[in-house]
Amino acid sequence: MMTASLPRLAVFDMDGTLIDSLPDLAACASRLLVHYSLPPITPDLVRPMIGDGVAVLVRRLLAHAGPAAAAIDPAEATTRYMADYTPHSTDLSRPFPGTETMLAGLRADGWRMAVCTNKPVAAARHILRVLDLEKWFVAVGGGDSFDTRKPDPRHLLDTIALAGGDPRRAIMTGDHHNDMAAAIGAHVPAIFARWGYGRPEMEAGATVGADSITEVTHLAGEIIPA
């Protein structure tokens, strides 16, 4: 089969790329800490903790709390965090401005789309459904969908396979070094989402950076022409 005859697939990270989820993640983080009689935390401190999955986020929250959190079981705290976060995950979270216009543009250009996130897949699907974004995606690869998760390239490759795509005709867009590392390892071009939560140095290895999500439609077409 000629490569050019294969459908193009645009894969997206979720938190900090498609969705501004920081307000809900931070609110849940504060409620968790307060439950353990620890001081609440501000969103600007939670921002750099996002991107490696819930368990890592909770461990970082407990580490931030210092010695007062030493006796807290991270596994129990993670379970408590998820039990609170899932029903509140769309209280304040919203798609970044221009997200639906970008997705509509990709679909009009013949792209298929998928999500590859370290967030548990049930939570990811719930958020996409409530925010009316699920209709755009042919597959969602969550942090518990496969045996691996980003930055392991197999997480991205398995998501591409789940979407019926081919790595030779796929791109990855994300705001974290995990997204870039997964794309590099999978030999998939990557767009770094500068509008997201990642630090500037996380753009290293990206094919190109975008200042706004509205640029993705054009950039994707330049990277993999129809």
Q: Which are the catalytic amino acids?
A: 13
For helices 121-130 and 74-88, the axis angle rounded to 10 degrees is 20
Residue type, 145: S
For residue 223, give the nearest of 196, 198, 190 by alpha carbon: 190
Rounded Cα gap, residues 160 and 172, in angstroms? 10
Residue 63, beta-bridge partner list: none
Cα Rg of the chain, angstroms: 17
Residue 19, beta-bridge partner list: 15, 95
Cβ atoms < 10 Å from Cβ of 120: 18
Q: What is the DSSP string of 6-43?
A: SPPEEEE--BTTTEE-HHHHHHHHHHHHHHTT-----H
